[in-house]
Structures are given as C-alpha cells and as structure tokens.
Structure 1
Amino acid sequence: MISDVTSPGADTAPGVAAPSGNRFGYLGVALLLVGLLLGVAAGLVIPRLGNPGDDSVEAGFLRDMSTHHAQAVEMAMIAHAGSDTPQIVTLSADIATTQQAQIGYMQAWLRDWDLGPTGSSEPMAWMPGSDGSIVDGLMPGMATSDQMAALRKATGKQLDVQFLTLMRAHHLGGVHMAQEAVELSDDENVDWIAQSMVTAQQGEIQLIDSLLKQVQQG
C-alpha cells in the first residue's frame, strides 16, 4: 500500500550522498529510527525454532538482500529529494522506509544467530542455478555505478524516468531472489519477510508501470 508520506526532510541515511533540500533529511532520520527500532524488536515478533548456519540459505539470503535493499534505499532517497512529481515522492518514501525497516530485521536476525553481516561465500551462492547471475559484481536488478551516477545528476522528467526504470528492474531482481528464498528456506522468519517483499514489490511494479506511462506522456 502507498502511504501518504509527502514531506519528510534534512539528514541522510548512512552511506548515502545527500542531495540538496530539507525533504531528504527528515526521511533519513526516519529511516535510521525505523531500522534501529525494528532491528531491536525483530527478536520479539516471530518466535525462533533454531539458528541457521553461516553457509545456510537463510544467512545468504539475508546478507544479499540487505545489500540489494541498501541500493534501493539510496535510489529512493535520491528520487524523494529531487522529484517534483507527488506520486513519485510518495512512492520513493514508501520504498525507502519499508526496505530500511526490512534491513533492520534481517541484520538483527543475523546478529541473533551469531553470524556476521557478511560471509565468505560469493553473492547468490545460496541459490541453486545462480551461476552467471552476478554481472560486474552486481546481483540481479542492481544498478551499475554509472547508472547511479547518472541518477544523482538527473533532474525533472529525466530523474523521474531514470528512477522508475531503475527501480522497476531492481524490484524484478529482488522479487526473484525473495521467491527463491521462500521456496528454499525452512525458517519461518525468512519465509515471512521474503513473502512480504514479493507481495509489496510486485504491487509497486504495477504502480511504477502506471507512473512511467504518465511521466513519459507528460
């Protein structure tokens, strides 16, 4: 569901370069608070039956999806700060807050399992048949450094189109990863969050398609 967030504003999330404008910062502060609060609360939401190991599907998925989400949050923050299209401002806020919250859950579970945020395995190694899915070190759907640089510089209609196009591809890659996690994981926490990602991002893809048509025709 798309929220009514329309005017967050002035600090930045960790590792994200800040565009100008107060709108960026309040959302950044909100993301930090959401991530911290939900990270702390993650252990209380769903009871655990056991701890997955370092080379498990669960650990691999949580680590990879945390990295995947981090780029989506950065893209959403850029669009939220720079777009003049109200629907895109709202969508980008929803994406940033939702995915930052999910990062909080995923990192909290790794800590609870006494596992580090990164492992020794290659990205996507937890997914059978994933050979070739990593291109230039990027997981499916992730934007290249050149694409991210162009997004940071874009304004107006160009920013809207680039953001929607990149986020659509990002969501498609993320949905595929999450669907595989649902199939492969035996952990109820991982199944729950992965299915939540599938549901939310499939709905957002439909909205992105609609917004892309509006922006390109405008």
Structure 2
Amino acid sequence: MQHRPVVAEESAGTGADRRRLWWPAALAAAVALGLGVPALVAGGPDASGSVSSAPAQESAEAGFARDMATHHQQAIDLSFIVRDRTQATDVRGLAFDIINTQANQRGMMMGWLDQWDLTQHSGTKPMAWMKMDHQYEPHDGSLMPGMATNTELAKLRSLSGQEAEVYYLQLMIEHHKGGVEMAQGYLDTGTNAVEKRLAQTMVNGQRSEIDLITGMLAERGAKPLS
C-alpha cells in the first residue's frame, strides 16, 4: 500500500518513546499479510488443526471485518487531515503511526473478505452482527460508535495549529473508544482464532493510545470530549 508522504520525526521524551511502541504492531500486520495469514483464516487449519469453512455472509466474522475496516478508514482520514494542519511533531508522529497501523490492519480484514469470497459491503445495518440490545443509530455520516460526523470532519478541516491538534486528539479518543467497543464485541461473539487475535491487538493498542492522547491533550490544557 502506498501512502502520501508523512513527517515521521518525533519529539523527545516519554510520549515519543511510547509512540514508537506502535511500530511493532504496524510491522506485524505487514508481515502477517506477507506470510498469507488471510489464507489461513479463509480455509486453512484453525487453532485446533481442523479445516474450517469460510464464514457466512452475515456472520460476526464478516461483519466485524467489514465494519472495522470502515471504522479504520475514518481514523486514517482524520490523521491525514490533521497532518496538513499542524507542524507539531508529536501530533504528526501520532497521525503517522495511526495511518500505518490502521491501514495495515484494514488491509488484512479486506483481504480476508476477498478470500472468503464475501462482499465488502452488506445490506444489513452496521454492527448488526454484535446483536446489541440497543443498536447504534447512524447519523450525519457517523455509521458506528466513535466515528466522527460530517459536521465534525468539516470543523477539523477548518482549524489549524493547536486548535486542530486539540480537536483531532479529542475526536481520536472518541474514535478509539468506539473501536475498542467493536473489537471487544467480536472477542465476545466471534469464533475465528486469528481474527480474535487481531481484535485483541486492537483492544490493547487503542486503550494504550487513549492514555497517550489524554496526556497530549493535558499538555495543551485540554480534556477529552467525554
């Protein structure tokens, strides 16, 4: 996957050190793609050594892959927006890490759908696979929990400098909270061992990054939206 140029410099200090921890996740995702993990999930031996069939069109496996791929794409979009609106090395470094990590994970999920011979879009509502008591109601372009609305995206595009940094960080915390909810939902309902390992990676990584981003907001005299 080819990305637009992104500044990779990082500021010195604890925050920069913590951001470097995201590189192994991005590298692992890229290596997994190269080693053919999607093929393992699509029809190869599962964790017990037996051969599993491809998931059904409306299964939790397919639903999670589709919805999280969509969710990840917006995180990538948000990160490209802020990259062009600030010169702060810590925020640009964070955006760079999110772009790379989530693009790699998104590629894995889309690859699974392709090898399962399933469509990348479903006729059902987003997150129907989670079977929640109260389904999320899409509004103003926000299709799933944590996703920014069209109005919020327009506001981020209108800002620059520290105002853009703060708003991006606030939106990304909400985005990660929604992503964690979705990944945990698959951990609770899914059966595919490889896909569950990826979901657990998302839960662990995004929870850690929420703590990091909260600290970055505090450095700017700001707090999360909720």
TM-score above 0.5: yes
1:121-132 correspondence to structure 2 within 5 Å: 121-129=124-132, 131-132=134-135
1:143 aligns with 2:148: yes
Gaps of 5+ in 2: 8-27, 47-51
Amino acid at match of 2:109: M
Under a length normalisation based on structure 2, what TM-score does the superposition of the two structures give?
A: 0.76
**Pick from 206, 210, 213: which aligns with 2:218?**
213
1:43 aligns with 2:46: no
Cα shift at 1:131: 3.0
Cα deviation, 1:142-176, whole Å, max 9, x if unaligned, reads 00001101111210111001100000000000000
**Pick from 84, 87, 91: which aligns with 1:84?**
87
Under a length normalisation based on structure 1, what TM-score does the superposition of the two structures give?
A: 0.79
Tell me which moved more, 203-212 or 42-51: 42-51
**Pick from 103, 121, 137: which aligns with 1:118?**
121
Distance 1:11 1:95, change over 3 A: closer
Task: Describe the SS at the equivalent of 1:148.
Answer: helix
- 2:39–2:112 CA contact under 8 A, matched in 1: no
- 2:60–2:189 CA contact under 8 A, matched in 1: yes
Amino acid at match of 1:168: I
Gaps of 5+ in 1: 1-9, 13-21, 25-33
Identity %: 35
- 2:60–2:129 CA contact under 8 A, matched in 1: yes
Q: Which residue of 1 aligns with 2:159?
A: 154
- Between the two proteins, the alignment pairs up a number of residues equal to 190
Q: Which residue of 2 aligns with 1:5?
A: none
Q: Which residue of 2 aligns with 1:65?
A: 68
Q: Which residue of 2 aligns with 1:196?
A: 201
Cα deviation, 1:61-111, whole Å, max 9, x if unaligned, reads 110111111000000111223222211111111111100001100000011
| Moved segments of 4+, more than 4 Å | 34-40, 44-48
Q: Give me the whole-angstrom Cα distance separating, in 1, the residues matched to 2:190 and 2:169.
A: 31
Q: Cα RMSD (Å) of the superposition?
A: 2.4
Task: Describe the SS at the equivalent of 2:208.
Answer: helix
